[in-house]
Homo-oligomer: A and B are copies of this chain.
Amino acid sequence: MSRVDLPRLDRKPFIALVDRANRALQTDMVQTGHRRGHPELKPAHNAVFGTLLPDGSRAADMAVRAGITRQSMGEVIRDMVAVGILEMRPDPEDGRAKLVTYSEHGRQVAADGYAHLKDLEERFAEEFGEEDYDTARRVLSRIAELLERWSAEEDDQLSAVDGEAG
């Protein structure tokens, strides 16, 4: 009987903290949108609000910024066009592309959302203190980059071993 002992974690895994916070934030944004009179808002729309530049963007660029595929982003965008938040028109500078912009109604929706985000920023800063809140933001903003680097390094090591073996 080779019973494996589970190492006792002295504290909750970081991933659990991030995941829990993320679920709460996603829910909060949609719920607030609904309360503000925009019942058409869905969680997936957050990816657009976070990546669509004020003067318009291409779907492909937005997909890269959001970290999802072009197809997925395109689907979300078409959905938001259908409910009147976004508009698409051919990009005059590139016949293949279409320029995604907010509709007039979409600008109102986005403005309401940004107002709520600003409110949250202030509440968080007040709750945790400007300094600690900024620290948390700084840490979070670098997590993805670090993980991708470390993962790539491990990939390199594995393929190097494969290369020697093969």
Contact = CB atoms under 8 A, between A and B. Distances in A.
Interface of A: 3-9, 11-29, 31, 35, 46-47, 49-51, 54, 66-68, 102, 104, 107-108, 110-111, 114-115, 117-118, 120-121, 123-124, 127-128, 132-133, 135-144, 146-148, 150-151, 154, 158
Contacts of A128: 138-139, 142
Number of copies of this protein chain within its complex: 2
The winner among A14, A31, A146 for most chain B CB atoms within 10 A is A14
A51 B6 contact: no
A21 B140 contact: yes
A58 B22 CA distance: 24
A9 to B, nearest CB: 6
